[in-house]
């Protein structure tokens, strides 16, 4: 790998995946560069994940960096089919940060942890000189127990699977962009940041044959679907008219020329299940507040050596939907 690291390498798209793969290769990591792992123990399977959170600004409509750090890590555990239990919390604080602001973030972290049903059991604090970070950065790691009989992975999507989305896309990304105030637009958009623990709990209770779970964060829905398609070596087709986008988000994106499919979410889950179970799964999901707008948006249409994602447009055409490349949007998490 030559050259210098650019912001694009942390944007969630193709360049970030390549960088992580390179780092994992140098470390001979069995994780293949993913930010989560399932550890096999004598008493069962333990899910483990880690993440770092940078959000500018650190407070937006419906979310702040504290809430995001908890829910983001909890949701990564959920995508492994696990019940989240414990988190670590490390804060990197910029010198001269107002103590009242810091305490408001800490209180938000505590509230989010209680809402998600997890305990923060260890942590650390570092203070860097002014300009050394953007107010506050947060790192969290999480552990949980994988539900018995559940085996989900981005490598397990199969031809014939239905693709279910648990709610509207782009809400968090649009909320962050709107909060920046750079576009001088009035947009009543709110982050979807929320824990997704109840979704998997409900599906596991009903013995749902889950194949793949993924949360469409950085890089949005399009990038997450490409990650699954490439890992499982399948071809995925989704229908534009079935993908829920809130009117306020759609309008905001149209003014700025942004594609909602690449805007990040922080409270949505993409679920791959056999087509025969899809209708039942949607009924289960719609009983929950966090997934009341769940719907089937597409299917796995066949095998593909390289993995591919296709979008069936409202006009009836079919176009390729690639993974995010570069950094057309500011960092949102």
Three state DSSP letters for 140-155: EEEEEEECCCCCCCCC
Count of positions (residues) in the chain:
333
**Domain map (residue ranges) of the chain:** 35-146, 161-320
CA distance to 101, 273, 307, per residue, from 278 (Å): 44, 6, 22
Digit-coded pLDDT (tens) for 114-171? 999 999 999 999 999 999 999 999 999 999 999 999 999 999 999 999 999 999 999 9
pLDDT at 202: 98
The CATH class given to the 35-146 domain equals alpha beta
Give the pLDDT confidence of 194-208 residue by residue, as tens digits: 999 999 999 999 999
pTM metric for this prediction: 0.92
Provide DSSP, 120-181.
EEEEEEEEE-TTSSSSEEEEEEEEEEEPTT----TT---TTEEEEE-S-SSHHHHHHHHHH-
Q: Which pLDDT band, with edges at 50, 70 and 90, does 181 fall under?
A: confident
Q: Which residue has the higher pLDDT, 11 or 101?
A: 101
User: For domain 161-320, is the CATH number 3.90.650.10?
Assistant: yes
Q: pLDDT band at 89, cuts 50/70/90? A: very high
Topology alike, domains 35-146 and 161-320: no
Q: Confidence class of residue 25 from pLDDT cuts 50, 70 and 90?
A: confident
Mean pLDDT of 42-69: 96
**Strands of the chain, DSSP E:** 36-41, 44-53, 59-60, 63-64, 82-94, 119-128, 136-146, 161-165, 212-214, 234-239, 270-274, 295-303, 308-312, 318-320
Mean pLDDT of the chain: 92
């Amino acid at each position: 790998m030559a050259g210098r690291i650019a912001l694009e390498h942390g944007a969630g798209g193709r360049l970030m995946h390549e960088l992580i793969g390179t780092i994992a290769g140098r470390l001979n990591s069995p994780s293949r560069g993913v930010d989560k792992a399932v550890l096999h123990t004598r008493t069962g399977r333990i899910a483990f994940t880690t993440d770092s959170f940078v959000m500018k600004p650190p407070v937006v409509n419906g979310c702040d960096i504290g809430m995001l750090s908890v829910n983001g890590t909890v949701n990564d555990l959920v995508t492994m089919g696990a019940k989240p239990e414990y988190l670590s919390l490390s804060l990197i604080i910029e010198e001269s940060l107002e103590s009242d602001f810091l305490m408001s973030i800490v209180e938000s972290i505590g509230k989010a942890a209680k809402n998600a049903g997890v305990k923060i059991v260890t942590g650390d604090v570092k203070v860097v000189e002014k300009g050394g970070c953007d107010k506050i950065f947060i790192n969290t790691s999480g552990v949980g127990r994988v539900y018995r009989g559940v085996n989900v992975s981005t490598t397990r999507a199969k031809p014939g699977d239905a693709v279910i989305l648990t709610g509207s896309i782009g809400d968090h990304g649009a909320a962050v962009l709107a909060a920046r105030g750079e576009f001088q637009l009035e947009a009543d958009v709110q982050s979807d940041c929320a824990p997704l623990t109840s979704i998997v709990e409900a599906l596991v209770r009903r013995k749902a044959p889950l194949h793949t779970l993924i949360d469409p964060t950085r890089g949005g829905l399009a990038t997450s679907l490409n990650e699954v398609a490439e890992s499982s070596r399948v071809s995925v087709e989704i229908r534009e008219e079935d993908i829920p986008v809130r009117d306020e988000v759609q309008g905001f994106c149209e003014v700025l020329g942004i594609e909602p499919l690449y805007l990040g979410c922080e409270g949505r889950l993409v679920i791959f299940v056999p087509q025969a179970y899809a209708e039942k799964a949607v009924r289960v999901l719609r009983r929950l507040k966090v997934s009341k707008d769940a719907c089937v948006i597409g299917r796995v249409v066949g095998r593909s050596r390289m993995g591919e994602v296709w979008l069936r447009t409202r006009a009836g055409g079919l176009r390729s939907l690639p993974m995010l490349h570069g950094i057309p949007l500011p960092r949102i998490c």
